[in-house]
Amino acid sequence: MNAWLYLHFPHLLLDYQQALQPPEAAVVPTALIQTRARQQQVVQANLAALQQGIRLGMADVLASTMCPQLQLRPYQEAQEHRVLTQLAQVLYQDIGHLVLTPPHGLICEVRSMVQLHRGFHGVVQRLHQRLQQWPLRYLLSSGYSPLAAQLLGWAGCPVVSEHATEVKQALWRLPIECSGLPAEQIAKLRDVGLVTVGALLQRPRAELGERFGGALLHYLAALTGELIPPQSPYHPPDRFDEKIELVAEAQSWPQVMFPLKRLLQQVEGFLESHQWSTRGLLIRAHHRDGSTTQIKVRLARPTWQQGELLQLSQLHLARQQLAQPVLALSVRVLQPEPRQAVATSLIAQPATKTDELTGLIGRLQARLGEHKVQQLHTAMDWRPEYQGQLQPWQATAGQPQVTQRMPRLRRPYWLLAQAQPILRQQWQLQWGPERIVSGWWQADTIQRDYYIAVDRQYRQGWIYHCSDGWFLHGWFS
Amino acid sequence: MAFPAQVEALMQKGWLWQGQVAPPQQTKQQFISSGWPELDEQLGGGWLQGSINELQIQQPFIGELALLIPVLQRVQAATLWLNPPQQPYAPGLSYQQVDLAQQVVVQEADPKLALWAAEQALLSDSVQLLLMWHPHLSAVQVRRLQQAAHAQQKLAFVITPWQSSEEARAYVNRLQLSRTEQLQVRLLKRRFGWPLPPFPCSVDKLLPRRRRIV
């Protein structure tokens, strides 16, 4: 059985950069160049460039002569490695054992996943599905050893099969140049007439070892799967703080929506792989002078779904002005927490209602600001302004109210934020006094006599008298 | 009262609308009792489910909240208070058995954002009642809110000062409140009937008893 799959992304960095741009940008022929053997060579090209006749390994001068509108950008290895790590994070949702093979490949172990995804083809299908979210060009190849799968991927003739014989056949046909051996080794093998990998495998091992040294024997053992070279499998990080360099400067928020969507997709993958949800995101837009614009997205309820994260982030961003152009965008996950199973009861109605209420409050807070959405709060305190207050909404639904323990007293329905001085003669006292003396343990001591009184328009107010005079504090209405 | 024979014939066929009774196909619609029998009678059974209603008040705090307290007590889901003129006071509301955990208060000075919040609330399944304070809503805005309230079967109240203009609005009911000894309700517009002159409404039952101390 073929226990290994190799994913090869020949144009990883370029494809990723294009995924961050609106789709119309893909029409422009673009290529990445790198200095190799003292000249600038094309190392990655997009489809539009390939159609124009650009080939990999071509000198940059030749390429731009052939296709004058070709856009050339330098290849950055560190950036590609970051992309590869992000990709591993996404694939980690389906594959437990992943090995990064920089610059642009990933090895997946299949055997342990077969049962989970219902057979070898289930695993392959799963990978294809996952990669569909990413507009990346890739080759998927199988093999009975990691090296076998890699060789087929590099050579560009991938075989996806459960059976080892098919891989073997394809492998045997590979020319010796595709063996991945050092160049001088290949030259030596070619000199003795071993021109395909198959020819090499046919020879008795002992003789090969005598003639070409132990390194070749190690290579053959790795190729046949007798010996798996030590691997360092990928482990997802415990925190998420990813940055995306924009290809072009962005002047407004709508222009960074594509990169943001990608980042949130990764956030979902990150949270999904840990079975976490988050209560907040920190979005940072990096500017040319090194300063950043920070936007904190607080969520009324923990979530991990990218759709919801995107909607709330957009509402938050709409409130912020973008003073300078953005060069890079980063997202950090704040306060991740384990997901909690929603208590399922037979009568599920109330639970879903509160859930939707926190959803609505999340939207309102995102658009209007957190302090503008408030809830009624009660406290054990005799001072009226402390007993009932408005406080910014916090998602602690179903909290026990303290009011049951306070004696139920006739209180007005409205309380003035600031008591207003009044003229006593305009009010007719109806009920009272109720003396409230409290708060001596704080600086805010009160000693007041409260009355219910009617004003000239027959309205009922809650007024009090203290050493400073008469004040209106609330309305019965 | 006897009508001429032709009129009787029209009434027999059900072609004549008399303006007092709710049309038979409407009676099945869900009414939420306002809690005040004298008002229910004039409104055809209570506040209509899925309607937006206007309360024009001569001055704030004349008893408009007491008028709405029975609805607040009855509603099972959340209530959104949008731009109330003062802080709703928790101890007073809990005295009237209003569920404090279900009250959401939003203060938004920008009128556009306030309307956005109102619409969001009406479109959400979790909010059943919207109380909105607004100085003057345009015909388009009212229509939009009415459509949202109707589609989602929500109840909404707009509390506003007395409006001087007689312009038509898409409110289902328009009430004008004033206070002398009692709260007076004048029906400027109602779904099932003519406008009515002011009549007293006994909302003072939910307010402290009025008396005089000597």
pLDDT of residue A348: 46
Position B188 in a domain: yes
Q: Are A123 and A5 in contact (CB under 8 A)?
A: yes
Nearest by Cα to A160 from A116, A131, A122:
A122
pLDDT of residue B156: 95
Q: Please tell me the least confidently modeled range out of A37-46, A280-289, B103-112.
A: A37-46
The domain containing residue B131 runs over which residues? Answer: 33-205
Q: How far is CA A199 from CA A77, A189, A191, in A?
A: 36, 10, 13
Q: How confident is the model at residue B132 (pLDDT cuts 50, 70, 90)?
A: very high
Chain B neighbors of A411, CB-CB under 8 A? 89, 91-92, 95
Chain A neighbors of B116, CB-CB under 8 A? 367
Strand pairing partners for B184? B178, B200
CB nearest to B61's CB, from A364, A373, A475: A475
Q: Please tell me the least confidently modeled range out of A103-107, A407-411, A434-438.
A: A407-411
Q: Tokens 């303290």, residue?
A: A402
Q: Tokens at residue A282, please? A: 């920190």
Give how far B29 is from chain A: nearest CA, Å: 23
Which secondary structure element, helix H or strand E, spans residue B179, and what is its range?
strand B173-179
Chain B neighbors of A419, CB-CB under 8 A? none
Q: Are A357 and B78 in contact (CB under 8 A)?
A: yes
Position B213 in a domain: no
pLDDT of residue A404: 54
Ranges A144-158, B6-20, B26-40, B146-160, most confident: B146-160
pLDDT of residue A396: 58
Nearest by Cα to A443 from A388, A391, A383:
A383
Tell whether B93 is within 8 A of chain A (Cβ).
yes
CATH value at residue B41: 3.40.50.300
Greatest alpha-carbon span in chain A: 119
Strands in A414-421's sheet, in edge-to-edge order, are: A428-438, A446-454, A460-466, A469-476, A414-421, B87-88
Least CA distance to B60: which residue of chain A? A477
Nearest by Cα to A30 from A73, A62, A71, A80:
A71
Chain B neighbors of A348, CB-CB under 8 A? none
Least CA distance to B57: which residue of chain A? A477
Which secondary structure element, helix H or strand E, spans residue B94, and what is its range?
helix B90-95
Domain boundaries, chain A: 4-224, 241-338, 384-476
Q: How confident is the model at residue B141 (pLDDT cuts 50, 70, 90)?
A: very high
Q: How confident is the model at residue B212 (pLDDT cuts 50, 70, 90)?
A: low
pLDDT of residue A420: 93
pLDDT of residue B41: 87
CB nearest to A414's CB, from B61, B179, B211: B61
Position B123 in a domain: yes
CB nearest to A364's CB, from B93, B95, B117: B117
CB nearest to B125's CB, from A356, A408, A413: A356
Domains identified in chain B, total number: 1
Tell whether B104 is within 8 A of chain A (Cβ).
yes
Chain A neighbors of B213, CB-CB under 8 A? 429-431
Q: For the CA atoms of chain B, what is the radius of gyration?
A: 18
pLDDT of residue A400: 47
Task: Tell me which residues of chain B, numbers 56 to 75, contact chain A at a CB-CB cutoff of 8 Å.
Answer: 59-66, 69
Average pLDDT value over all residues in chain A: 85
Fold of A241-338: Dna Ligase; domain 1 (3.30.1490)
Position B5 in a domain: no
pLDDT tens, residue by residue, A385-395: 988 889 888 76
DSSP conformation class of A150: H
pLDDT tens, residue by residue, A323-375: 889 998 999 998 888 887 655 445 544 445 666 788 888 889 888 888 899 99
Where are any strands of DSSP class E within A53-175?
71-74, 98-101, 105-109, 139-143
pLDDT of residue A299: 80
Greatest alpha-carbon span in chain B: 65
pLDDT tens, residue by residue, A195-252: 888 888 888 888 888 888 888 888 888 888 888 878 888 887 888 888 888 888 888 8
pLDDT of residue A352: 55
Least CA distance to B180: which residue of chain A? A458
pLDDT of residue A90: 82
A375 and B103 in contact by Cβ < 8 A? yes
For residue A396, count CB atoms less than 10 angstroms from its CB and return exposed for 0-12, middle for 13-18, buried for 19 or more.
Answer: exposed
pLDDT tens, residue by residue, B32-47: 899 999 999 888 888 9
B60 and A454 in contact by Cβ < 8 A? no
Q: What percent of chain A has pLDDT over 70?
A: 94
In the predicted model, what is the mean pLDDT of residues B171-186?
A: 91
Chain A neighbors of B87, CB-CB under 8 A? 388-390, 414-417
User: ipTM of this model?
Assistant: 0.89
pTM over 0.80: no
pLDDT of residue A354: 64
Burial B14-23 (b: 16+ CB within 10 A, else e): eeeeeeeebe
Q: Is residue A452 classed as helix, strand or coil in its secondary structure?
A: strand
Q: How confident is the model at residue B21 (pLDDT cuts 50, 70, 90)?
A: low
Residue A284 has pLDDT above 60, yes or no: yes
Chain B neighbors of A375, CB-CB under 8 A? 100-101, 103-105
Answer positive or negative: Cα dihedral of A16, A22, A23, A25. negative
pLDDT tens, residue by residue, B56-72: 999 999 999 999 999 99
pLDDT of residue A191: 87
Query: Choosing among B87, B177, B178, which should be mutated to test the A contact, i.e. which has the most A CBs within 10 A?
Result: B87
In the predicted model, what is the mean pLDDT of residues A282-300?
A: 88
Least CA distance to B78: which residue of chain A? A357
DSSP A360-411: HHHHHHHHH-GGGEEEEEE-S-SSHHHHEEEEE--S-TTPPPGGGGSPP---
Least CA distance to A396: which residue of chain B? B101
Chain A neighbors of B181, CB-CB under 8 A? 458
CB nearest to B63's CB, from A363, A390, A477: A477
SS3 percent helix, strand, coil of chain A, rounded to 5, is 40, 30, 30
Q: How far is CA A341 from CA A17, A123, A304, B80, in A?
A: 38, 28, 14, 28
Position B139 in a domain: yes
Q: State the amino acid at position A344 in one-letter form.
A: T
DSSP B18-54: -SSSPPHHHHTSPEE--S-HHHHHHHTSSEESSEEEE
Q: For the CA atoms of chain A, what is the radius of gyration?
A: 34
pLDDT of residue A453: 93
DSSP A273-305: HHTEEEEEEEEEEE-TTS-EEEEEEEEEEEE--
Chain A neighbors of B126, CB-CB under 8 A? 353-354, 356-357, 359-360
DSSP conformation class of B189: E
pLDDT of residue B199: 93
Q: What percent of chain A has pLDDT over 90?
A: 15
pLDDT tens, residue by residue, A163-189: 888 888 888 888 888 888 888 888 888
Q: How confident is the model at residue B214 (pLDDT cuts 50, 70, 90)?
A: very low
Q: State the amino acid at position A105 in one-letter form.
A: G
pLDDT of residue A2: 75
Position B20 in a domain: no
Give how far A359 is from chain B: nearest CA, Å: 9
Least CA distance to B205: which residue of chain A? A477
Least CA distance to A356: which residue of chain B? B126
Q: Are B53 and B156 in contact (CB under 8 A)?
A: yes
Residue A397 has pLDDT above 50, yes or no: no
Helix B111-123 vs helix A349-368: angle between axes, to the nearest 10 degrees? 160
Chain B neighbors of A474, CB-CB under 8 A? 86, 89, 92
Give how far B177 is from chain A: nearest CA, Å: 12
